[in-house]
């Protein structure tokens, strides 16, 4: 059974940095695109970044472009999100989610989700 | 960019039927997927490609999509169905994922 376990969340000040990781198991990791989806307190879901199965394609929501970097290590079945220049409005639970597709520019939905890791940006 | 509209809340008595709508321009031409998020938990896929149920999702969950509205119907509602439900599509014009704002289903 597929399993996704996030880590790396925490409290940081505005302008700070954090690195999130997601350990995947139970499926052929390099076959699927992976995403980070965040949920601000009491709010809905927002896809933040996506990376193709091979790692050669990425997508970022406009609000994080130039600040966040998504990457993956297919030899270690790990997904990462490097977050720099963090803002108060980046505060959210960040979920790692598995797409059913491999490439980026195709229709996606997400059949497995991790339990999430909380990122709090506050002075 | 493409937008999805969901009612903020739906209330239903146990044993009755809950209908959760997801509105969008010609959404009937898109594939709609639905996620259930119980309080304090991660989202779970409950419907994909409008009306396909993942394994483990009870047949009480039914999906439909036509015109400008997609609908997730939950029949014989149980207390455990109390959750937020989010619809999701792929926006071909922008090549990105779009989520609806979510609907909180309350079981009275």
Interface test with B, best of A37, A45, A57 (most B CBs within 10 A): A45
What is the nearest CA distance from B15 to chain A, expressed in angstroms? 27
Using alpha carbons, select from B37, B28, B33, B64 the residue that is nearest to residue B47: B33
Token pair listed for B41: 């938990």
pLDDT tens column, A34-63: 999 999 999 999 999 999 999 999 999 999
In the predicted model, is pLDDT for residue A116 greater than 90? yes
**Between A104 and A94, residue with greater pLDDT:** A94
**Between A105 and B6, residue with greater pLDDT:** B6
Asked whether the beta carbons of A117 and A94 are under 8 A apart, the reply is: yes
- Give the C-alpha separation, B62 to B71, whole Å: 8
Cβ–Cβ contact A47 with B under 8 A: yes
Q: Which residues of B touch A115 (CB under 8 A)?
A: 41-42
Q: Do A113 and B42 touch (CB under 8 A)?
A: yes
pLDDT tens column, B66-75: 999 999 999 9
Quote the mean pLDDT of chain B: 96
Q: Which of B42, B90, B99 sits opposite A115 (nearest CB)?
A: B42
Q: Do A111 and B48 touch (CB under 8 A)?
A: yes
Q: Do A44 and B101 touch (CB under 8 A)?
A: yes
Nearest CA in chain B to A111: B45
Asked whether the beta carbons of A113 and B44 are under 8 A apart, the reply is: yes
pLDDT tens column, B35-67: 999 999 999 999 999 999 999 999 999 999 999
Kindly give the residue spans of alpha helices, DSSP state H, lying in A24-110.
Answer: none
Q: Which residues of B touch A108 (CB under 8 A)?
A: 90, 97
Q: What's the Cα-to-Cα distance from A25 to each of A5, A22, A76, rounded to whole Å?
A: 9, 10, 10
Using alpha carbons, select from B21, B22, B46 the residue that is nearest to residue B34: B46
Grade residue A32 by pLDDT with cuts at 50, 70 and 90.
Answer: very high
Interface test with A, best of B6, B42, B53 (most A CBs within 10 A): B42
pLDDT score for A37:
98
């Amino acid at each position: 059974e597929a399993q996704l376990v996030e880590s790396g969340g925490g409290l940081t000040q505005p302008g700070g940095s954090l690195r999130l990781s997601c350990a995947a198991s139970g499926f052929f990791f390099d076959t699927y695109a992976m995403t980070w989806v965040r949920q601000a307190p009491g709010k809905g879901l927002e896809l933040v970044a996506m990376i193709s199965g091979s790692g050669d394609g990425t997508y970022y929501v406009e609000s994080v472009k130039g600040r966040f970097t998504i990457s993956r290590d297919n030899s270690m079945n790990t997904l990462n999100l490097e977050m720099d220049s963090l803002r108060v409005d980046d505060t959210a639970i960040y979920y790692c989610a598995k797409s059913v597709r491999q490439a980026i520019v195709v229709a996606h939905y997400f059949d497995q989700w991790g339990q999430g890791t909380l990122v709090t940006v506050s002075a | 960019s493409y937008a999805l509209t969901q009612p903020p809340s739906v209330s239903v008595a146990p044993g009755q039927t809950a209908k959760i709508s997801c509105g969008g321009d010609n959404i009937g031409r898109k594939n709609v997927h639905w996620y259930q998020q119980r309080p304090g938990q991660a989202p779970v896929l409950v419907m994909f490609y409008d009306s396909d149920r993942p394994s483990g999702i009870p047949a009480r969950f039914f999906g439909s999509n036509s015109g400008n509205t997609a609908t997730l119907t939950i029949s014989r509602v149980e207390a455990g169905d109390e959750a937020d439900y989010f619809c999701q599509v792929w926006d071909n014009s922008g090549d990105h994922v779009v989520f609806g704002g979510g609907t909180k289903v309350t079981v009275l």
